């Protein structure tokens, strides 16, 4: 089952153009939607999730017209929004039972088996009788995935899922999403380049409501091979470097500033060829859009 978004546009009452003629094709597996805050990611995710209507355009999930048949979409949709609210005084087990009932799982025995299996899947079975209010951020996110998986959805949307997670929680959560992506269309909306690099076989970069690039991450990185160079730069020389070269990014390493530059030929003394990263693809795409 594939998701097709065609010519989607949305302008809010305050004049903000959240989406501008957005078109995407999303196949089963992990798809990364990458962009800065305010790029239009959440608007697109909410529209696909049938939580709001666009001004124009079309969305199809297999044979379902998403905009005209929202009920059919919700039957096969799992959605984990950026701000996942919890009931702090309820246990994880009881909360999952509650949402399973809302999904129509009325038989107690069937529901017990389903809840038990989901808690094992998201590695929360050992804490199933603990109150959710005491969960860490990563545990709450994994519980959110369990809720999203109720009903065996074929389309799963996760919006900024790793923001605020510590490194260990982030790894556990990404491993979980990777396993989920084997059996469904999973859209990962994020501003964290590493999440997309580690998980997604396809991606799109969005800025100001416009899709700037849709590609396979590995292919996009390969296209920059031989065009990324780096060297140590004194901080007071960064402005001059930016005037003379297409600086992709700068970062600190061991107290030194490393500048990465996009150029067809060696850009000057001291520069060494560097293996492209998805960060280079992202910043190069964003910089080209500004230029």
What CATH number has the domain bearing residue 61? 3.40.50.300
Q: Please check whether residue 262 lies inside any domain of the structure.
A: yes
Same domain, 77 and 165: yes
- Do 269 and 185 belong to one domain? no
Q: What is the pLDDT of residues 119-138, one digit of tens each?
A: 998 889 999 999 999 998 88
pLDDT at residue 85, rounded to an integer? 66
163 shares its domain with 196:
yes
As a whole number of angstroms, the distance between CA 178 and CA 198 comes to: 9
Q: Are residues 232 and 262 in the same domain?
A: yes
Q: Which residue intervals of the chain are DSSP H helices? A: 41-48, 70-74, 92-102, 108-121, 137-149, 167-180, 193-199, 217-222, 238-244, 278-290
pLDDT category of residue 254 using cuts at 50, 70 and 90: confident
pLDDT of 141 > 90? The answer is no
Is 117 part of a structural domain of the chain? no
Domain, as residue range, for 165: 3-86+135-216
Least confident of 13-17, 149-153, 256-260: 149-153
Evaluate whether 204 touches 33 at the Cβ level (below 8 Å): yes
CA dihedral 172, 178, 184, 185 (to 10 degrees): 100
Residue 125's pLDDT is what?
Answer: 94
- Residue that is last in its domain, among 166, 183, 216: 216
Mean pLDDT of the chain: 91
Residue 288 counted as domain residue: no
Q: Domain ends where: 168, 183, 216?
A: 216
Same domain, 139 and 269: no
Query: For 14-19, what is the mean pLDDT?
Result: 95
The total domain count for the chain is 2
Report the percentage of the chain scoring pLDDT > 90: 62
How far, in Å, are 48, 95, 110, 141, 182 from residue 126 at the CA level?
Answer: 34, 15, 20, 16, 25
283 pLDDT higher than 60: yes
- Identify whether residues 28 and 156 lie together within a single domain: yes
For residue 127, being part of any structural domain is answered with no
The two beta strands, 64-65 and 77-80, are unpaired
Do both 156 and 259 map to the same domain? no
- Residue 288 — very low, low, confident or very high, per pLDDT cuts 50/70/90? low
| CA torsion through residues 66, 71, 74, 75, sign | negative
**Whether residue 149 sits in one domain with residue 238:** no
Confidence of residue 291 (pLDDT cuts 50, 70, 90): very low
Same domain as 31, residue 145:
yes
Asked if residue 78 and residue 14 are part of one domain, the reply reads yes
Residues 76 and 145 in one domain: yes
Q: Is pLDDT above 90 for 213?
A: yes
Tell me if 286 is assigned to some domain.
no
Which pLDDT band, with edges at 50, 70 and 90, does 84 fall under?
low
Q: Are residues 187 and 266 in the same domain?
A: no
pLDDT tier at 101 (50, 70, 90 boundaries)?
A: very high
């Amino acid at each position: 089952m594939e998701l097709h978004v065609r010519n989607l546009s949305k302008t809010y009452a305050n004049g903000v153009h959240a989406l501008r003629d957005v078109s995407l094709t999303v196949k089963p597996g992990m798809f990364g939607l990458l962009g800065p805050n305010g790029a239009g990611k959440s608007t697109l995710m909410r529209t696909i999730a049938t939580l709001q209507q666009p001004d124009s355009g079309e969305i199809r999930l297999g044979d379902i017209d998403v905009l005209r048949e929202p009920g059919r979409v919700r039957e096969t949709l799992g959605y984990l929004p950026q701000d996942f609210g919890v009931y702090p005084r309820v246990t994880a087990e009881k909360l999952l039972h509650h949402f399973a009932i809302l999904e129509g799982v009325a038989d107690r025995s069937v529901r017990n088996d389903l809840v038990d299996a989901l808690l094992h899947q998201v590695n929360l079975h050992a804490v199933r009788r603990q109150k959710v209010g005491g969960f860490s951020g990563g545990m709450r996110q994994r519980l959110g995935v369990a809720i999203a998986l109720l009903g065996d959805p074929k389309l799963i949307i996760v919006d900024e899922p790793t923001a605020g997670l510590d490194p260990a929680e982030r790894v556990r959560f990404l491993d979980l999403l990777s396993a989920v992506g084997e059996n469904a269309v999973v859209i990962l909306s994020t501003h964290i380049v590493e999440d997309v690099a580690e998980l997604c076989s396809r991606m799109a970069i969005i800025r100001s409501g416009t899709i700037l690039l849709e590609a396979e991450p590995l292919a996009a990185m390969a296209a920059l091979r031989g065009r990324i160079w780096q060297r140590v730069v004194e901080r007071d020389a960064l402005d001059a470097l930016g005037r003379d070269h297409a600086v992709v990014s700068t970062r600190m390493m061991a107290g030194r500033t490393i500048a990465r530059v996009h150029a067809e030929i060696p850009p000057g003394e001291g520069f060494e060829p560097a293996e492209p990263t998805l960060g280079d693809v992202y910043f190069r795409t964003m910089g080209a859009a500004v230029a």
